[in-house]
Chains A and B, each alone.
Chain A
Amino acid sequence: MTGYIVRRLLWMVVVLWAIVTITFLLMHAVEGGPFTRERELPPSVIDALNHKYGLDKPVFSFDVWNSQYGQYVGNLVQGDLGSSFSNVDQPVSELIRDGFWVSMQLGLLAFVFAVVLGMTAGTISALNHNRLPDYLGVFFSTAGASMPNFILAGILIPIFAVELGWFDVLGWEFGNYKKMVLPVVALGVLPAAYFARITRASMLEVLNQDYIRTARAKGLAEQAVVLRHAVKNAMVPILTVMGPYLAFLITGSFLVESVFSIPGVGRRFVDAVLVRDYGMIMGTVIFYTVFIAFANLFVDVLYGTVDPRIRYS
């Protein structure tokens, strides 16, 4: 196992270098730059800004350390992600740290919401196969999976914030339910629907297995049959999708963050692309790469823990 993890970590470095290089190349290939404005800056100002941020050097050069790419990689190796162009005087690492802290709270809560709701709905559906609870569960999993989170947010806000006044529209404050419920629900319903569908399918398959029939024949209580034997064995396919979804929820909440004006890292990333904030684009791409790589590694290791039949060599 240790050797496997070390090999994965080494590959991670290679992947990171490739992504840094490709992103750097694409970022500079796109039209416009960080100082391209609707309100155009005079050439003398553009020159001064380019000099200030080192953009007057060639993007790539055989004289690597005198190129923008070489300088960036050199700084990166030393752990320096540079400064943001659109949040002047603010280090990219601090902006990502602050944004990620919020995105992680939102994503984790949405994940918990999705897991609890999805697995509960899926299990109830499977246990009541082809009966009303099953139909309702299938409806939920179909409707929920069909609805993008920003559309759902657009439905939730007028009803629960504007009309009923139960929740707020703006911002994020951990511990303040008025600011937390709507973003968490908006973000969590789609994965909940997906988890419900996977859980239902997996449970239906497991419930028809011989060992379930045997457990019931032994006289085990239905609760024990479901929790100890059925849910347990139905978890592997669910777990397979949970890992990527956790990473997705933590990193991919841009639309929900935008709709609710939540200062998360997803919103920062998209905004950075729109204004060609080179420092922030690179920083967030690197951060996402490392985060998703570690999330996938974690899930792979978890497989081995959950299912002893899986061995890594």
Chain B
Amino acid sequence: MRPITHWCRLLLSLAALGALFAVIACGDDEKKPVGDTDTPTPAAGARIDGGEITVQSQEFASLDPHFSSFAQDISLHRMLWRGLYTLDIDNVPQPSMADGAHQVSADGKTYTVKLKEGLKWSDGDDLLAEDFVAGILRTCNPVNAGEYQYVLTEVVGCDAYYTALAGPDGEAKTADDIKATDPAVAALEDAVGVKAIDNLTLEIKLSSEKPTFPIILSLWMTFPVPVHLDRFANATPDEPGAWGTDPAALVYNGPYVLTAYSPKDSVVLAPNANWAAPAGVKPTLAKITIQFIDDLAQAANAYRTGELQSTDVDLTQLESLVTEFGDGEEYFKFLAPSTRGLEMNLEKPPLDKFEVRLALSQAIDRAALNTVVVQGGNEPSTSWVPAVTGGHDPTDFDADIGFDPAAAKTNLEAAGYPNGAGFPKLTILVGNTPAAKDTAAFLKDAFKTNLNIDVAVESVDSATRSDRFTEEQFDLFPGGWIQDYPDPENWILGLFDTPGTLNHYNCSDPDIDAKVAEARANTDDAARKALYKDINELIVTRICGIAPYWHENNHYLIKPQIVGMRENMSGQDGVIAGDWAAESWGLSE
């Protein structure tokens, strides 16, 4: 009889689990997601006070604005914290926490910034100059290891402090290496050129003039640190204080506060009652849920079901989504500050020959590439720096390096490879996304058709691809650049000058180097920008590392009842439409 008893228990257990499943499956059918399809959609009208929305983004890596470099992180940081200045929709710095324009010394190296009076953190504590000093110091702190420290390289002492603990590249630390607890490190921190003159006045010293510094003061790596919190009040060079992810353990000076965080799932924001509203814009939404979704095809489905009110767009579905939601109705696009092209390693023969690089560039039909790979979603271009950032119009260099199969063949012959004869096998290194593979397939076919040369394609995962690029183990590499801040120097410095740390194309052109040196030294803003425009022309027409093929667009779906998103789409968008000015988001009647 014993086995039967066990079997009865087993069957009863299964039945109980089945019943549990049934109870769970039948429970809570009253809950409806925000914006469910049977919820009446308000007609377009006046903005209402209150309401809640759910928008798609990706999970952040860190909430610490002085550490992270990911776009989705920065998007969230700007909703929660703000700096001394903020860029308006035309990318012009406007006072945010600062009380008017900054003062600059006669030599252009000392900035004095006054804060508005009465600024408060979300917990009611005063927001003071020392908080902004702590913000810059935190970015320069070697233990915090901020990924955007290099933007503050002109701040006196920031580089020396930041590199105090790092050993030579690729070498293990030794017992003799300096420790974060060493008094010398504290001295390096003290030497960083930022201090609070009084509660409302901040002074920053630069090692050289930097006309773009007011823009830097609007960026996340200069946001304030709440030094009145214990872990930051007691911060030392070796213990800068963990920023953390607990919403209750953080305070905010941006338009929103964080009320909930569920890893891999979502964050929830609510208005910050102490938001200074420098431009007079206060949040009207009662709640914003940012849902972390990597799969944009599913995000589109969630948008259809009403679970999302805004999402980025899956470019593989672009045409059908535009048809379904209507261009300018619920589908919107905006030129992103990003250029992509075919990057070339000039140390890999025959890519050292200009005629070869030119032939490859002229063999690429950029319009067809745009149609085939991203369903016409981007803007074909032969300019590296976008016109909006002081570069050239997308078609300005079409006659020089644009699609021209006949000229491509001629140039390849001039390089010593008539009709592709004897051309060595090059490899296109791409990621393993469908779009990347499609791009490589298109290029391979274009080179075969137009130049009669065979190239190989190697598809690897994203980290491997990036690693090979950094190690310069590539021949041809579809890649590009996303702007950090709206100035042409951000597209050129370090990338195309001979000693540039990000110059993995091995571009080494005396004319470019000379112009870069001249532009760096020039403090006349107009003249400086003209020099960078000249450099853009040199880079492109000499194909010194890249043959641009398009500027990217950001694509969004936005529900009609949402206001403040489509109106604020700009190159500053992180991953959500108008996320740089999220205080403007709201619902209409």
Q: Is A192 an interface residue (CB 8 A)?
A: no
The answer to whether B305 touches A88, judged by C-beta atoms less than 8 angstroms apart, is no
A40 to B472, CA, bound (A): 12
Task: Give the shortest distance, in Å, between B430 (CB) and chain A (any CB).
Answer: 12
The answer to whether B307 touches A90, judged by C-beta atoms less than 8 angstroms apart, is no
The answer to whether A40 touches B502, judged by C-beta atoms less than 8 angstroms apart, is yes
Question: Contact partner of B264 among A49, A115, A267, CB < 8 A?
Answer: A267
Q: Mark A155-199, 1 if CB is under 8 A from B, else 0.
A: 001100110010011111111111011001000000000000000
Contacting residues, chain B, for A42 (C-beta < 8 A):
150, 494, 501-502
Contacting residues, chain A, for B463 (C-beta < 8 A):
30-33, 36, 274-276
Q: Is B419 an interface residue (CB 8 A)?
A: no
Chain A interface residue count, CB cutoff 8 Å, equals 77
Chain B interface residue count, CB cutoff 8 Å, equals 86
Q: Mark A85-108, 1 if CB is under 8 A from B, else 0.
A: 011111000010011000000001
Q: Mark A32-53, 1 if CB is under 8 A from B, else 0.
A: 1100111111111101111110
Closest-by-CB residue of B relative to A188 is B21
The answer to whether A31 touches B464, judged by C-beta atoms less than 8 angstroms apart, is yes
With A42-B501, A88-B61, A258-B295 known as contacts, the answer to whether A58 contacts B467 (CB < 8 A) is no
The answer to whether B18 touches A89, judged by C-beta atoms less than 8 angstroms apart, is no
Task: Give the shortest distance, in Å, between B474 (CB) and chain A (any CB).
Answer: 12
The answer to whether B167 touches A47, judged by C-beta atoms less than 8 angstroms apart, is yes
Contacting residues, chain A, for B172 (C-beta < 8 A):
56-58
The answer to whether B302 touches A170, judged by C-beta atoms less than 8 angstroms apart, is yes
Q: Is A206 an interface residue (CB 8 A)?
A: no
A259 to B169, CA, bound (A): 41
Task: Give the shortest distance, in Å, between B166 (CB) and chain A (any CB).
Answer: 3
Q: Is B24 an interface residue (CB 8 A)?
A: yes
Q: Is A69 an interface residue (CB 8 A)?
A: no
Q: Mark B1-23, 1 if CB is under 8 A from A, else 0.
A: 01110110011001001101100
Task: Give the shortest distance, in Å, between A97 (CB) and chain B (any CB).
Answer: 10
Q: Is A137 an interface residue (CB 8 A)?
A: no
The answer to whether A89 touches B305, judged by C-beta atoms less than 8 angstroms apart, is no
Contacting residues, chain A, for B479 (C-beta < 8 A):
38
With A168-B33, A261-B298 known as contacts, the answer to whether A51 contacts B6 (CB < 8 A) is no
Task: Give the shortest distance, in Å, between B373 (CB) and chain A (any CB).
Answer: 17
The answer to whether A263 touches B264, judged by C-beta atoms less than 8 angstroms apart, is yes
The answer to whether A157 touches B298, judged by C-beta atoms less than 8 angstroms apart, is yes
Q: Is A200 an interface residue (CB 8 A)?
A: no
Contacting residues, chain A, for B482 (C-beta < 8 A):
39
With A41-B147, A177-B25, A274-B463 known as contacts, the answer to whether A116 contacts B14 (CB < 8 A) is yes
Contacting residues, chain A, for B21 (C-beta < 8 A):
109, 112-113, 116
Contacting residues, chain B, for A264 (C-beta < 8 A):
264
Task: Give the shortest distance, in Å, between B67 (CB) and chain A (any CB).
Answer: 7
Contacting residues, chain A, for B142 (C-beta < 8 A):
48, 51
Task: Give the shortest distance, in Å, between A192 (CB) and chain B (any CB).
Answer: 13
Question: Which residues 288-313 of A have a CB within 8 angstroms of B?
Answer: 305-308
Q: Is B475 an interface residue (CB 8 A)?
A: no
Contacting residues, chain B, for A95 (C-beta < 8 A):
263
Q: Is B353 an interface residue (CB 8 A)?
A: no
A30 to B27, CA, bound (A): 46
Interface core residue of B28, B146, B244, B265 (most chain A CB under 10 Å): B265
B residues with CB within 8 A of A: 2-4, 6-7, 10-11, 14, 17-18, 20-21, 24-29, 31, 33, 36-38, 59, 61-64, 67-69, 142-147, 149-150, 159, 162-163, 165-167, 169, 171-173, 242-245, 262-266, 291-295, 298, 301-302, 304-305, 307-308, 460-464, 466-470, 479, 482, 494, 501-502, 504
Sampled A-B contacts (27; CB under 8 Å): A40-B466, A40-B504, A42-B502, A43-B501, A45-B146, A47-B166, A50-B166, A51-B142, A57-B173, A88-B62, A89-B62, A108-B17, A115-B14, A157-B301, A158-B301, A165-B305, A168-B33, A169-B307, A170-B302, A171-B266, A260-B298, A261-B293, A264-B264, A267-B264, A306-B10, A307-B3, A308-B2
- Beyond A39-B69, A116-B18, A261-B292: 18 further Cβ-contacts under 8 Å? A32-B466, A40-B504, A42-B150, A44-B163, A45-B150, A51-B165, A51-B173, A52-B144, A87-B59, A89-B64, A116-B21, A161-B301, A162-B301, A171-B266, A172-B265, A177-B25, A228-B4, A306-B7
